[in-house]
Structure 1
């Protein structure tokens, strides 16, 4: 990051942390993407909490950023298995923050499987979780009775800016990879599976690129919303994908399973907005499809009489080009900082899903406008 940009960003985060200070000695365990703008956010977290460790999401970690972060913070490897097994999760917390009050920062519901055990058995105190994504929001929601407060920013109005730009960046990256093979998007049939905020942005961006767009969502209300916004819809996933040249998966919960791949038309390209582990059941194809590299970030799946392509190994395709959404990402990061501050005051919130107050969001918006909308 260029120094004037860094100075501006540091000033913004200092304004946020001054407005939302910690309520005492608090540690944090941070699951995060390591993108070029992320060290400034981590430094802001370090002014609010003691950063016990950073757990980079492995498929989005920028190598240079990772090296830089290692110089300032303890970095631990992240896998789903780490928190799927409560004992290993508990061992990690006891190693890095024994006896401390701690806030868990999450992207994708990693802590959910172990949260009850961590809350009950950790020698310190789990003050709560701050979750960034819709996928994670849903994972905590399915737990039923949560053992501690979970603040979600996934459905915040401040995150809508990021979600809109993520949709655009997904289409940008998909087009760049397809253009690298000497082809273009224009005039093709596309399908968007999942009509949440990101899926809606993808559909709108595809239409702006002169594609014919069909939307499928298993929620009939979302299908009506797609219809009223001028998109074609179908009653089944199979009907949506079988004629599509491009399929964009934006559900966070297995948009395509094994039987769905068989319904893809020959030569279809598949792009995802999240991890392949969450969006595509590619492992089920290992015995029936042969995988070959077909270009940069492009894999061909083929069996007798059928073939299709997967972009970026099925992971978030926009991370191929840095997943850039500009300064709007700092609205979400500021809300995460504010939610961490709220949790640091201890027993003010009952166990369950929570959101930051409207007034707190307005404060963040005003500070952001002062620093980035001059």
Structure 2
């Protein structure tokens, strides 16, 4: 059986794949956002957006050079929050680039102000993450017809918090034993300005997990650099045809692979990549996704090949995915993982 060949929880494998994350947990390193808060950047706030982006690039150079000071007047994290907020005026945070002024109107993602549908200590994530303080935002830039969180991803629901209160909730969760703050949804990308503003006020040394479909714009990726400690990336589709049919997005493969390669170069960022195995999608999606990860990111990366698919939301409209996985599909997925030689994989 496949469970005998690939460990469901290998602590050493997780440590090999995510040493920075474990160093933060051990108190040996600080989370990236804490360091970004120590990078001095001089700006007024009313500069043109492109000028602010140039100052941001200079600030990222200082971060990589470890040019840090305690409590600067204005920091790289402050600048990131400002740029994200200014971007809302013609929103290009995700690759949809609807350019709606989200300070006045709801974007394609169904997000105007950030609404938190739920937040709690989550014990159902990967073992190295739990307990994870998981913040579920409503709204999403995808329209997945099988979405298990459709009640929050496809609707505007939840509570609006001021960023300072969100920071206090993160600190409280850290005090209760949370190993990380895990921003998810829906999708966190439309909520990037709120998240960055909240992190400006967080005093706890808690790692940031970005739990995302990875369909961000390059502009958003620049802002995430130096903030995210772990990209918990949901790599769904192995081709654009399936992405258009089931998630209603274009250029999926180009955008997601681009962003994973960009994230690979981000300051001290690490990966935990999820792939949900879909019925009848082993050859068109599972194999090309895992082959790309192995070839482009390496066999030591932490990858979770998941068998938890169940037909939800509108999946009954698509007979080919209106069922759970068969045993032979699970076996085949595990064989692909073995064949590609992943050394730090979770399967099941």
TM-score, normalised by the number of residues in structure 2: 0.28
Higher helix share: 1
TM-score, normalised by the number of residues in structure 1: 0.26
> In terms of Rg, which structure is larger?
1
Higher strand share: 1
